[in-house]
Chains A and B, each alone.
Chain A
Amino acid sequence: MSDKEYSNFGRRQFLARAGKAGIAIAGCGIASYLLYDPTGPRPGVKVEDLVTLADFSVPHKTGQTMSIVQGSDRAKTVDKAIESLGGIERFVKPGDTVAIKPNVAFATPAMLGATAHPQLVAEMVRLCYKGGATKVIVTDNPINDPTSCFTLSGVGKAASQAGAEVVLPKTHLFKYTTLTDGRLIRNWPIFYGPFYKADKLIGISPIKHHHRAGASMSMKNWYGLLGGRRNVFHQDINTIIAELAMMVKPTLVILDGTEVMMTNGPTGGSVSDLKRANTLIASTDCVAADSYGCGLLNLNISDLPYLAKAEKAKAGTNNYKSLNPIFATVS
C-alpha cells in the first residue's frame, strides 16, 4: 500500500474492513459452537444402522413341507420335488423378485460337487420365471475370489443364460444386522443388498462333508450371507449355524444329494470324494431338510448339534418324519 493510499484510508473503507473481519470472527465462532465436542471420542463399538432380513416364507401347508425325490437328473428331480409341494405357483407369485442363494463358495468346477450344480440353478431360475417372477437374482458371497467362483463353478453362466441377474458381493451391498435372540450375530455385516428388494428367497446347496461342522447343507449355506471376518465363528460353529437358521426365513430350500461329497469337504477336489445318492430334497424348513440330508452322509442327527440347537430356537424341526415328507421317484 502506497503512502497515498494509506493517507486516503477513510472511514468508509475502515468500516468495510471491520465488517469483513466481524463476519470472519462470527463465522469462526459459530463453526466452533456447532462442532463443539465436550467429551472427546468414547471407546466401544459404533453401532451402525441395523437392518433386518425380511421373512421370505410362504404360508404353511400341512403335509406339503418337504419332498424327497429320487432320480439322477437334477432338472427332473427338482421339478418333481416342487410340484409335489404344490407347484412353483405356491412359492412364486406373478411380479415377484426372487433371490436364489446357491452355494458357490469355491472356485472349482461343477463336477467336483463343492458348489451348487449349475444345471440345478438354471432350472430353478426357469421355474421362478414360470411362476411369474419378474426378476430372478442369483447371488452368493463366496470364500474364494467371487468372480472366479461364479465363473469356474459354471453357476454364473448357467444363471445368466437362464435369464437371472448375477449379483457379486460388492462392498456397498453389506449392511449390519443384529439377530434379536442371537449371541453371535450382533452388529455384524451381512450381504444384504440382493435380498433387500427380493420378495422370495430360495437356497440351493449340495450335501457335503464338513470336518468342523460335520456337514454343510442348507443351513450352512446361509454362511454365505455373512460378511466381515466371519471365519472367527468357527470357534462356535454349531451356534452360528443355528443362528443363521434363525436369521434366514427362506421361501424354500433345495438340498441336492444327487452326488454327495463324502470326504475331504467342504472343498472336495476329486471326483473320488463324491458318492452318487440320486436324492434331492425340497423343503420350506431347512432344519428338516438337513436332518434328512445328514443320513446321506451316514451321520446321525445327534452328530450335528446345530440341528438340535436350531429346533430349540424354533427355526424348524429336526424330526423330518413328523412332517410326513412326500417321497417320489423320477426316471
Chain B
Amino acid sequence: MKIVTVRRISQVFFFLLFVWFCIVSTVGERFWQLRGWPINWFLQLDPLVAVGTILTTHTLYWPLLWALATVVLTIIFGRFFCGWVCPFGSLHHFVGFLARRKKKVSQKIQLNRYRKAQGIKYLILVVFLAMAAFPSLAATLQTGLLDPISLITRSFNLVLVPIADKSANLISVPQRFYEGAWLIFAVFLTAILLNLVIPRFYCRFLCPLGALFGVIDGLAIWKIGKKTADCVNCKLCEQDCEGGCEPAGNIRISECVLCFNCLDGCKHEVIGYQTRKSAAGETLPDISRRGFALSLVSGLFALGAVRLSNKLGSNWHHKVIRPPGALPEEEFLKRCIKCGQCMRVCPTNVIQPAGIEGGLENLWTPALNNCIGSSGCQLNCVACGQVCPTSAIRPITLAEKRGVGEFAEAGPIKMGTAFLDRNRCLPWAMDKPCIVCEENCPVSPKAIFTREYFSTIRDGILMVKDFREQRIETVENNLISGKFATGDYYCAIENGRRWKITANTQNSIEISSENISGKILAESSKIKIQIRLQRPYIDIEKCIGCGICEHECPVSGKKAIRVSAVGETRSEDRRLLLKG
C-alpha cells in the first residue's frame, strides 16, 4: 500500500472518530452516549492546550499528559498530527483537494508554493503565549480562539450537530440552542472557504498549533527531503504539497505536514523520508527577530488593554454565571480553552457560549443562560466538570455541589443568587397568583418562600344589598359572572373577617360556609373583594443560583426572577453575605 493511502485512511479514521466523540457527548447510558467514551482525547493530544495551561498555571493537568505523546512523536517523525490526525486539518485537506482538483499542474504548483506570509502563524502563537506567560501582567489563555481542536470541537458540537439533529431529535429530545452560534459558524465557514483561495489556508497561515509543531519540527529525526541533488526539477512534488513547504527546493521543514504527496508525486525517486538533511538544503521557521519582538510586545499590551475594562475587578458582569465547580474567575481564564465541551454535554443546555459583555477574554467561555434550554442547572448533575479537559470547571462530586457529607461545612456551591423583580412578578405587580418559581425551587427547604397577602382588587369595594345564608347580594350589578369563583378570591368585611368566594353572578357572591354565624352583614355595609396572593421572597442563604426559577418564570422575555452571579461561592470578592 502506498504511504499516501495509509495517510488517507488515518485521516478518515481520526475524522470519523472525532465526529463520533461529538455524537456521544450526550449524557446517557446507551452505547452512543457518554458512558466512558474519551471525548476529550483530541483536546488532550493537543500540545497547545498543554503548553498554554503550563504557561498560565505552571502545572500540567494530568489528562493533558497525552500531549507528551504527540510531542514525542513529533520530535521523532515531524508534523504527523497535522497531516494524519488533526480533524480540522483533514477537513481543509479535503476541501482544498476538491477546489484544485480540476486545475492544471502548473496552477497547482503555483497554489501550493511557499509564501512568506506563512510566518504569520508563528506570530499569532507568540501573541497568544505572551498573553499566557506573564502572570505579573495578567496571564490569560486565549489559544482556544484559534486552536484548531478547540475550534472544530466548538463548531461541530455547538453548531453543526444541533443543526443536523434539529428535526430528527436523535441526539437530544428538545432542540439544542447556543446563543451567538452564528459567530462560531462564521469563523468556521471562513476557515473552510479560505481553502478555495489557497489550500490549507488555515493550517499554513493561521494555525497556532501548526506553528507550535513547526517549532518542534526543527528537532525532528525523520523528515522529508531530497535524497540526492540529482533532480530534474520538474516540481511535480510540489503540485499537491499540503504544507506549502517547497520540497523541490530548499525545503521549509517546519511547514511540512507530512502528507507524503511529494514522495508519491516524484517520478524520479529523488524525494525521501529520511534522517539526513535534504540534499537541496532545508530551513527552519521563517520568523524574524523583529517580528518575534513585535508580536511579544503586542501580545502583552493587547492583554493589558483588554484588562483595562476591569472586568475581573469591580466592573465584572453579573450575567457571567459560571457552571458549578468553575474556578475563581482569574484562575478560570487561565484554563478555559473555549472548546465548548461543557456546553455540549450539559443535559439541560443551560451552559452557553458567552459573548463579549464580560470582556473580550470571555468570548465563548461557558456561562449559564436560564432563558435557553430545558431547565436551569439541575441539582443532581455535575456533568460539565467531569468533561472539562483543563479543569477550568473542576470535576466536582454531587456531594460537593450540594454541600453534603464531608462538604456539609462548606455548604452547597452557589453559582449566583436569584433576585426578584417585583415590578414584573405577577403576585407582586399585578395581583395575580403564580409562585411557579417557589414550586420549582429544588432546594430543601426551598430558597423561595411566600408570604400570604390579601389584595383588594380594582373596583373591589362593594355595597351589600342583602345577605342570606351564604349569599351576598350587592348593590353593584356589573360583576363578571364566575370571575371570583376560581378559589383565589375572598370576601372581606371591615372587622377583618374573610371568607372564600365559591361563586358569583352579576350582582351576588356566594361565600364558603366556614365560620359563619348569624347575620353579620348589615344592609349598605361595605365588603371588599380580595385576591389571595402568595408573594415570593428569596432566602439568600439557601439560594444556590441554579436558575430553575428563572427558567420556569411565566413572565417570559425578561423574567420576573433572574439569577445574577453575585454571591457565587467560587470567589471571595463576589460574596454578598457576611459569614457565619
Chain A interfacial positions (CB closer than 8 Å to B): 106-109, 143-148, 151-152, 168-172, 210-212, 229, 231-232, 234-239, 263-270, 272-273, 302, 305-306, 308-309
Contact = CB atoms under 8 A, between A and B. Distances in A.
B174 A107 contact: no
Contacts of A237: 433, 487
A308 B439 contact: no
A143 B435 contact: no
Interface stretch (B245-253, B265-273, B371-379): B371-379
Given A168-B173, A212-B435, A234-B436, 15 more contacts: A106-B442, A107-B379, A143-B552, A145-B374, A146-B173, A147-B347, A169-B173, A169-B174, A170-B169, A171-B175, A172-B169, A211-B439, A212-B439, A309-B485, A309-B487
B317 interface: no
Interface string B156-176: 000000000000010011110
Contact of B434 (A106, A108, A234): A234
B446 interface: yes
6 nearest A-B pairs in the assembled complex, by CB-CB distance = A305-B487, A269-B444, A270-B444, A238-B487, A231-B554, A145-B374
B506 interface: no
A234 B374 contact: no
5 contacts: A107-B378, A107-B379, A168-B173, A232-B554, A234-B439
Contact of A143 (B375, B426, B443): B375
B442 A171 contact: no
B556 A144 contact: no
Nearest to A237: B433
B444 A147 contact: no
A211 B438 contact: yes
Contacts of B502: 305, 308
Nearest to A300: B514
A267 B29 CA distance: 25
Interface string B436-470: 10111111111000100000000000000000000
Contacts of A151: 28-29
A238 B434 CA distance: 12
Contacts of B169: 170-172
Contact of B433 (A107, A152, A210, A212): A212
B348 interface: yes
B486 A238 contact: yes
B298 interface: no
A109 B331 CA distance: 34
Contacts of A148: 27, 347-348, 375, 378, 380-381
A144 B28 CA distance: 16
B10 interface: no
A146 B512 CA distance: 40
Interface of B: 27-29, 169, 172-175, 347-349, 373-375, 378-381, 426, 432-436, 438-446, 450, 485-488, 500, 502, 512, 514, 534, 548, 552-554, 556
A210 B172 CA distance: 30
A232 B436 CA distance: 9
Given A236-B488, A308-B502, A144 B378 contact: yes
Contact of A146 (B174, B445, B486): B174
Contacts of B172: 147
A268 B441 CA distance: 9
B381 A267 contact: no
Nearest to B445: A264
Contacts of A308: 502
Contacts of B375: 107, 143-145, 148
Contacts of B553: 231
Contacts of B439: 210-212, 234, 265-267
A269 B443 contact: yes
B554 A234 contact: yes
B381 A302 contact: no
A298 to B, nearest CB: 16
B28 A147 contact: yes
A234 B379 CA distance: 23
B487 A170 contact: no
Given A143-B552, A171-B175, A264-B444, A235 B434 contact: yes
B380 A107 contact: yes
A191 to B, nearest CB: 12
A264 B433 CA distance: 18
Given A171-B169, A302-B512, A229 B554 contact: yes
A212 to B, nearest CB: 5
Nearest to B33: A147
A107 B373 CA distance: 15
A145 to B, nearest CB: 4
B534 A211 contact: yes
A107 B347 CA distance: 11
A298 B450 CA distance: 20
Contact of A234 (B27, B174, B435, B450): B435
B174 A171 contact: yes
A145 B348 contact: yes
Nearest to A148: B347
Contacts of A143: 375, 440, 552
B380 A108 contact: yes
A169 B173 CA distance: 7
Contacts of A234: 433-436, 439, 554
B488 A238 contact: yes
A109 B379 CA distance: 11
A61 B28 CA distance: 45
Nearest to A152: B380
B547 to A, nearest CB: 12
A61 to B, nearest CB: 32
Nearest to A169: B173
B434 A302 contact: no
Nearest to B373: A145
Contacts of B554: 229, 231-232, 234
A306 B487 contact: yes
Count chain A CB atoms within 10 A of each CB in B432, B434, B487, B556 and give the residue with the most: B487
Contacts of B500: 302, 305
Contact of A269 (B29, B442, B485, B514): B442
Contacts of B434: 212, 234-235
Contacts of B426: 235
